[in-house]
Each structure stands twice: as C-alpha cells, then as structure tokens.
A and B are shown apart, each in its own frame.
Chain A
Amino acid sequence: MIEDDIYRTSSQFRLWSFTEASLQSLRATTNATACERVRSDIRKSRDAPQSASSSAAGTPAANPGSDVDSKAGEGSEDDCLTPAEEHQLVQYFCEQIIKLGEMYKPPLPTIVRATATQYLKRFYLTNSPMTYHPKNIMLCALFLATKTDNYYISLNQFAAGVPNDPKPDEIIRFEFLIMQSLRFTFDVRHPFRGLEGGIMELSAILEGLGKPAPHFPSQSPDELKRKLQSLSPPQGVQQGTSVQDRLARAHHGTREILKTAAQMTDAYFLYTPSQIWLAAFMVADRPLADFYLDTKLGGPVDENNKGNPFYELRVKLLRTLTDCANLLQSYTPPVSNQEQKNALRRIQKKLSRLQPRDKPEAVGQKRIPAAATDSGNSESEMERLAKKRKLDGAQANDLFGGELVMQRTKQTQGQQPPP
C-alpha cells in the first residue's frame, strides 16, 4: 500500500475533490436551486396579500402578469446572485475567518482557521449564500473547526472573542446544518505538514545528512549538499545570501501562500495536499523546488530522457504543479482592492433584497413555514422580514451590516484594545 492509496480512501478525495468542470457544474446547480426558491418565495409573497385584500380594497384584482410593480418583484435574473457573485462573497468571508482567528488571544492555530475556511467553502458547494448568509455560517464553521482540530474552547469563550458579542446560541444553531452539509466528514488534509517535511529534508541535505531517495540509492549526502549549495539564486534575491537563509525565506514564503492563496482559491478542491505545497514552493523559490523534485525524480527535465518513466512522470507532475501555481498566483486579497470592494458592496445590496432562510426554525430538518400559509397574521411574514431588512440596511453603513471583523480591526488599530 502506498501513500496514494491511503489518500484515495480519505473523505477529502472521496467527496471533496473535483475537476474544474464538475466543480463549476455543482455550483451552478446549487445557484439555480436557490434562485428557484427565491423566485417562488417572491411569487408567494406577492400572491398571498393580493388575494386577501382584493375585496377589501375594492379595486379590481390586478393581473399580476401585466402589472408593472409585480414585474419588478418577479425575481428576474438580476435579482438573484450569480454563481460568480456567490463565489466572491464566500471568498470574502473566508478572509474574515482568517482575520477573526488572528484576533483571539492566543490566536487560533493556522490549522484551525484553514479547516474552518475549507468548511465554509465546502458548505457553499451545496448551499447558497442567498439561503444562508455567510456571516452566520462562518462563525459556526470556525467554532466547529476548534472542536474537530483539537483546539476546543468552550462556546462561551469562543463567542466572547467575536466582535459585537453574538449570543452563543446564535452561533451554535447552525452546527447541525453545517455538519450535514459537510456530509459528516470533518477531516481536512492540509498541505502544511508536507511543507514541514520537505523543509526538514532540505535542511538535512544542507547539513550533509541527506538520505538518498527510494529510487536513487546511489545519491550521496555530499553530492546532494554540493548541488543544493550551487543552485542559482531565486529571482529578486541577491547573490551571497546563505543557503540557510534562503531555505528559511522559501519556507516562510511558501507557508504564507498556503495560509492565504491556497485557502481562498479552489486549490483544495482541485489538487492534493502535496501538489499544493509543491506548487506554492515553486512560486516561492523555483530553483529550490526544482532541486527538491530532482532529488526525488532524478535530474532535471531532459528531452533526451524521453520514454524514461521518471521523465514522463516529471513532465506530468510539472504540468499539474504549474496549473496549481497559476491558480495560487491568481489570488489577490479582495479587501485590498477598491474594485473588488465595490463589487462586494453591490453583491451585498442584492443579497439584502432576498429572503435569507437562516432563521432559527430553518436550520436542519425544521422548516420555516411558508409565508403564504401564514393567513392568521395581518402582516405576512414576508412583509415583516422585508421591513426588518430595510431597517437593518439603514443601520449598516459598513459592508454587510456592521461588519464584525472590520470593526474590530479599527478598534485595535486605534490602540484601544476591546474590553
């Protein structure tokens, strides 16, 4: 049994690995299902009060199809978020998870934050932000990750660390829904451990303690060390930096990519943990990454070796790693970019017009009663919610209604630690 066989039994491979096409198709389906619901809810809310008030108002019942107002409420394509908009929104809240985790004292471990980020991304493969707002889901996803990644802190303590002091019950009520959406698989295989292993191997080589790779028993520690020391420097680094410093720099650079770009992009869905860290390593220090692969697969890619299984493997691997590296490099932090900020604001505006289902009753198996059947109330649930949303919207000047993490950041920047 080799490592690949073991990885293939992991839930990450069985349930959470995709091709780009299958990932896209899944997101499109989820988006379409949610849009369908949004439109049906809007239709219901429009029809229900009309039938109830038609006689009382004394005006002839308007034909919904010809009415200008109802056309606006029809739930046209523009009213719903597109899959791309949903994706952008979820990515933004993944950023917020990382930031929130940093604010705890001590900060939540990188692994916990990374696991929570992947939970959020997995959650929104089959749920739409139009149904469950990510600002609610992200908190519970982070709390769940503290439990699944051996960093359990009590819910009260966890809640106390969140800005705006949400009630613990408000956080935990999404747990079951999230677990169900995660298909009850909690294990996330991260690329961090692989990176540490690779760096340890390279450090050993540098100390003259390198071990030959399984297929190259003739490699000698001295030869490995000499080759490592004679590598050309990476781009942007001056000649004369010690190899030790270079290793440390590459280690740090790779880790940063793994903590950010690898989390925010679809890397985990499309590539294995070892592919991800090797690709990030390539981005951080290409000659060093190439050297590392040379030690495993025997020498640089050389056309003369065509037909040699190692050559074929190397070419195939390089293609995958290059694709993954391109994906990682495509990432730019959304909040650092005014254009993306504006786009997010636009998405939020659209979202605020839609009916979110994340009321307590809606979680898990318990369904929110359809507004149309709520005939006993003079004011339908839909109208009430619409009013409430308007109020919420008026209060919220910041992104997404009094943004939790951003507020806290301001406080800390103002040198006033929160009480």
Chain B
Amino acid sequence: MAVSPLPTRSPSTTLSTSNTAFRLKGVAARSPGNAPSPQILQNADRELTEQLNDNVRQRYMKDKKLGEGTYAIVYLGHLRTEPSSLVAIKKIKVNAEYKDGLSMDAIREVKYLQELSHPNIIALHDVFSSKDQNLNLVLEYLPLGDLEMLIKDGNIHYGAADVKAWMGMLARGVWFCHENFILHRDIKPNNLLIATDGEVKLADFGLARSFADPYLNMTHQVITRWYRPPELLYGARQYSGAVDIWSMGIVFAELLLRVPFVAGNSDLDQITKICEAFGTPTEENWPGVTKLPTYIPADKGHIVPVQGRDFFLRQFPTAGPVGADLLMSMCTLNPSKRSTACQVLQHRWWFTEPRPTNKEDLPRKAGGSQKMGSDLTRKGGELDDSPFKDTARQLDFNAM
C-alpha cells in the first residue's frame, strides 16, 4: 500500500550546513560507526550542487590503479575517515570521439546501480565528478576476482555444493533485477564478481535497461555471444527476463563443465552449436519461431530433437537428476516456456542434497583485485579473452 514520502531513514544523511532538508547518500551512512562526513567547502562562490559534489568527493581517497581499459580506469580507494574501508573507484574516461555527452554505457550503469540495492548486486556507494568533468563511480571493493577465474584455474577444485552456492547467489541477484523491471543483458562468468566473504555480486550494468512497455521494440544486439539466447540470435525485438535466464543457464553449465558450453565463433555458428546441443527450434517446440526476423530454416535432414532430461543428466552428471532438471528449465529454447527467475528460486534443487556451501567456505583464489580492475574497465558485450574479441558486437542504437 502507498506510503507518504516522508524523509527516509535509509542510506541518507542530512546535510546540516546547507540549511535544507536535502539529503546526501553515501557509504558513511550505510555503515554505522563511521565519522560524520567532512565539512563542506565554505565557498560562497560555489553552487549548492557543487558543494554537495565536493562533499562526496572529499569523502574518498584514491590509492593505486587496479586496471585500465578503453572505457574506464579503476582505482583502489578508501574512505578518508576510515583507511581500512576499501572501495573501488571507477573513473569513466571521456570519449573524445563521442560527441553526444556521457556514453550510453555509463548512463545505463549509473542509472540502474543507483536503484538496485541487494547483497548479490555490486553496490554503488557514491558518484562524484572530479576535475575536467570526469565521472567517478565509487563501487563496492570485490577483491576475490570473478567466477571465470575460478572456472579456468585447474588448481582450484570445487563440487556440486559450491556450484549450488554460486548459482543461488546469482539467481537471487537476477531475480532482484527482474523484480525491479530491469534486464541485465550481459550475464557471464566474468561479470560475476566475488566479495571478501565469498558473496557473488552481479556487476557491469552497461547494457542493462528497464523492461519495455508491451509492443515496444528493443535492440537484439546484446549479451555476449556465448551466453546469448536463441531468440536474440534470431533477431527478436521484443523479449523478457527470459534472456537473462538463458545466460544464467549457460553459466550454470559452464560451472559444471569448467569450459564454455556453447562457444560459437560467429553468430551463425552460435545458432548451430545451440541447435546441436539443445535441439533445433521448430514451430512445434517453439510456436512463432519461424516468424522471427533473422530466423534461419533448419536443414530438413539435420533436425536435432529437443533434448530431454536424460541428455542433461548424461552431459552434466555433477548436477544430479534434480539439478539437471533445473538446468533444462533454464535452457529451454522457447523463451515463454523457460523458467522465470522466481521459478528458478522455487526449484527443489536448492532443497536437495548436497546443501549449498557456506559462502565463507567456498573455494577462492588470490590476485582477484587485478581481475576486478580488468572486469570493470571492459566494455559490455565483449568476449575479452578469446580470439574473437574484435567481432563482438556493439550496440546499434539506431536499431532500437
């Protein structure tokens, strides 16, 4: 039911000097026990907005550089008043080529992270500008790298209970996005960062957007290819949270196999690999698929039937029969038959043995802060460590 919009107690603190009820969001207020924010600059010549910005900026100190990409530089930083409280400061580079102001990636990232506050989504503590109109995002510091790092490291051993813990955290993060009408559109292992306590955090909202109203078109050129669902590969312009669920299913498969499951080297190859693995989409198993803009009719002599539970169990024995069932529900070709985030969370796999590992006891690996540096400076939708990285698609805004 509706509430009256009285000043909130949550992450805000009153700015007493400005003699107003204007509230300031920030880390200081989120973690109790911190000293009050530093005094705002006493300068009559500075506008109220600038004073507010100064106030935020002065709360942080930048330490060393963690990584640099074409799009951003990431620094390790800390709260001025509390050197032990670490943060990652992502400084968005000004793109001289782009004449239309702040890039769409940065706009999306800031817009959605400002709204999403959840244990499994990277926290945006503050945003401030520094000289030359640079945008700085103060993000939660996640020093244990990402899931990709763990998947790839042969020295790290993990089992079904660990996968269950990671998938549970991912599913809760995705559910929360969808509950807030936000599509992430770039879920993949190196966007799943790990906090000191082992908690998995969904990061990189550079391709995110809110659900479109019914009948409005969206771009289909999102999600890194290996994790892209068939409807987007067929050029669907109207889609739902089901696109993120597919990506999540593929991450699940990759966690179990420890290699990317369907890794096409072109969009066409990606479709072929999906058909081989899961079955060929047809009007029977997916009514309407042949009407999608770039649907390619399957070779009549080469139609793979939709794979059943047996296939998933054979292919992913670690998951067990119940886990295989969950994976199958996430990798259903027809997006309207695919599980929703809520259905994923209600699946009985979570209640079946083994219980998920406690997050503190999950396998971990050192050297993750550099990984965070490179993860946060990458542009959305790119496969940055494959021979195909240059073919990664850019968002085509004119197609929106």
Contact = CB atoms under 8 A, between A and B. Distances in A.
B50 interface: yes
The dominant DSSP class at the A interface is: helix
Give the contact-size bracket for chain B. Answer: 35 or more
A187 B47 contact: no
B101 interface: yes
A21 B5 CA distance: 13
Interface stretch (A29-37, A49-57, A67-75, A92-100): A29-37
Interface string A235-264: 000000000000000000000000000000
B44 A152 contact: no
Contact of A11 (B20, B45, B50, B114): B114
A394 B246 CA distance: 64
A275 interface: yes
A382 to B, nearest CB: 16
Given A175-B101, A180-B50, A186-B107, A126 B3 contact: no
Interface string A16-32: 01110111011001100
A185 B45 CA distance: 25
B64 to A, nearest CB: 25
Interface in B289-323: none
A362 to B, nearest CB: 10
B210 interface: yes
B48 A187 contact: no
A355 B159 CA distance: 69
Interface stretch (B21-29, B163-171, B343-351, B385-393): B21-29
Interface residues of A, number: 65
Interface stretch (A58-66, A266-274, A341-349, A407-415): A266-274
A397 interface: no
A9 B115 contact: yes
B22 A172 contact: no
Given A37-B45, A175-B102, A180-B50, A29 B212 contact: no
Interface stretch (B6-14, B233-241, B367-375): B6-14
Interface in B52-70: 52-53
B17 to A, nearest CB: 11
13 contacts: A4-B2, A9-B116, A10-B115, A14-B25, A15-B25, A17-B6, A127-B48, A187-B111, A271-B4, A271-B5, A272-B2, A272-B3, A365-B50
Interface of B: 1-8, 10-12, 18-23, 25, 44-45, 47-50, 52-53, 99-102, 104, 107, 110-112, 114-117, 127-129, 131-133, 135, 179-180, 209-210, 212-213, 218, 397, 400
A18 B5 contact: yes
A216 to B, nearest CB: 14
B132 to A, nearest CB: 7
B104 to A, nearest CB: 6
A173 to B, nearest CB: 9
Ranked 8 nearest A-B pairs via Cβ: A22-B21, A17-B5, A184-B127, A186-B111, A175-B101, A155-B100, A126-B48, A26-B20
B55 to A, nearest CB: 11
Interface stretch (A143-151, A202-210, A281-289, A300-308): A143-151
A380 interface: no
A348 B350 CA distance: 65
B115 A152 contact: no
Contacts of B45: 37, 367
A148 B102 CA distance: 11
A8 to B, nearest CB: 6
Given A150-B400, A317-B2, A14 B49 contact: no
B131 to A, nearest CB: 6
A291 interface: no
B120 to A, nearest CB: 14
A131 interface: yes
Contacts of A155: 99-101
Given A11-B114, A126-B49, 14 more contacts: A8-B3, A11-B115, A15-B25, A19-B5, A19-B21, A23-B21, A29-B19, A126-B47, A150-B212, A150-B400, A151-B400, A172-B101, A365-B129, A365-B132
A373 to B, nearest CB: 12
A365 B5 contact: no
A26 B131 CA distance: 27
Contacts of B47: 33, 126-127, 131
Given A19-B7, A22-B21, A317-B1, A172 B100 contact: yes
Nearest to A168: B99
A400 interface: no
Contacts of A10: 115
A317 B180 CA distance: 24
Contacts of B104: 147, 152
Nearest to A183: B52
Nearest to B214: A196
A214 to B, nearest CB: 11
A375 interface: no
Contacts of A185: 111, 114
A150 B397 CA distance: 9
A26 B21 contact: yes
Contacts of B18: 29
A162 B384 CA distance: 41
A184 B2 contact: no
A150 B209 contact: yes
A271 B6 CA distance: 9
A276 to B, nearest CB: 10
Contacts of B99: 155, 168, 172
Contacts of A15: 12, 23, 25
